Amino acid sequence: MSYAYLFKYIIIGDTGVGKSCLLLQFTDKRFQPVHDLTIGVEFGARMITIDSKQIKLQIWDTAGQEAFRSITRSYYRGAAGALLVYDITRRETFNHLTTWLDDARQHSNSNMVIMLIGNKSDLESRREVKKEEGEAFAREHGLVFMETSAKTAANVEEAFINTAKEIYEKIQEGVFDINNEANGIKIGPQHSPTNPSLPGATGSSGSQGGGCC
């Protein structure tokens, strides 16, 4: 399928906060309670529509364990958006946010949009981190904030799509240099002015878009 833009995302946060479950819920619309620990990095993709434009999200789900940190770090570079996830039922995952944020800021490009996610909102009875605390942290560090549940799918769509909207707005404002792929944004085949030979290059809705992806 053709797309106007491709955005590269990365999902980060402590081990066991539900990063892989969020991705699975977003890409496959299902929840898998028992999930193998992510080794290194996994990858998922989905198409969304913003402003009647097709946008392909390419999402990198990283392993939360310290053991894979040097591998996961290499994925920050070239990401346009990051979902920083903690578990509202485990205080320590919230406490580690600063470390994650420092790491992300240090290794990514400065325009990367970061969305703070408090996951497992369905487990209200076991809550250890108040929603207000999450909001305060996000405000303090200039992040967008949302509580989600990968299990019930609450706010999952919104989390991914709102991040995309924010990136899209930044593109409109000219903040992102879309010709530099290191920013995690790629123009779709039918938008590329340098590639007029491709089918569907006329900028129409791309109904006969080339390629098999």
Partner 1 sequence: MAGIADNDTNDWVTDLENAILEECTATDIYYICKGKPLPESLRSDVWQICLDVRDKGNQLDNFNEIFDLPNQNELREDCTKFVSKLGNDEEEQISVISDLESVITFYCKCRNVMYNKNNGWVELLIPILTLKIPPSTVYNLFEAILDTFIPQGCSAGGNAFHILRLLLLYHDPELCSFLDTKRITTDKYCLTWFQSLFASTCNMQVIINMWDYYFQQSDPFFIFFLSLIMVINAREQIISMSDQPVDKIIETLSNMPTALEADDVGDFCSLAQYYAVKTPISFRTDLLQNIYNGKAEEATTVSQALCLPVSVRELVQNTAQDTGNIDAVRFFLVDCRPVEQYNAGHLPTAFHLDCNLMLQEPSAFSTAVQGLLSAQKQALAHGSDAGGEHLCFLGSGRNEEDQYTHMVVASFLQKHTQYVSLLTGGYIALHNYFNNNPSQFLLDHDPKLCIVCAPIYNLNMSDKNSKYSHTSDIFGKISAVMKSKSAEVKEKLIDYIVNPNNSPVQERHVSSTDKIGKRYRNVTPVFSIDDDHDNVTSVENKEEESKELVQIQQWLKNSMVVEHFPCEEVKLNGFMYKSHLIVTASDLIVLREVPDQKGIAEVIVKRPLSAIVKITAKKRHPELITFKYGIPDGENLIISDMDRFLIPNADKATKVVSEQILKKLKNREF
Query: Could you list the residues that contact partner 1 (CB under 8 A)?
Result: 15-16, 34-43, 45, 58, 60, 67-71, 74-75, 212-213
The least CB distance from residue 37 to partner 1, in Å, is 4
Residue entry with tokens 């009875």: 125
What phi, psi does 51 have (nearest 5°)?
55, 40
Coil, helix or strand for 27? helix
Segment holding 44, helix H or strand E: strand 41-50
DSSP 56: E
| CB closer to partner 1 out of 23 and 143 | 23
The least CB distance from residue 154 to partner 1, in Å, is 25
The least CB distance from residue 66 to partner 1, in Å, is 8
DSSP string, 57-78: EEEEEEP-SGGGHHHHHTTTTT
| CB closer to partner 1 out of 120 and 134 | 120
* Whether the Cβ atoms of residue 21 and residue 35 lie closer than 8 Å to each other: yes
* Whether the Cβ atoms of residue 176 and residue 145 lie closer than 8 Å to each other: no
| CB closer to partner 1 out of 78 and 134 | 78
Helix 156-173 with 19-28: angle, nearest 10 deg? 80
The least CB distance from residue 61 to partner 1, in Å, is 10
DSSP 155: T
| CB closer to partner 1 out of 46 and 141 | 46
The least CB distance from residue 73 to partner 1, in Å, is 9
| CB closer to partner 1 out of 16 and 200 | 16
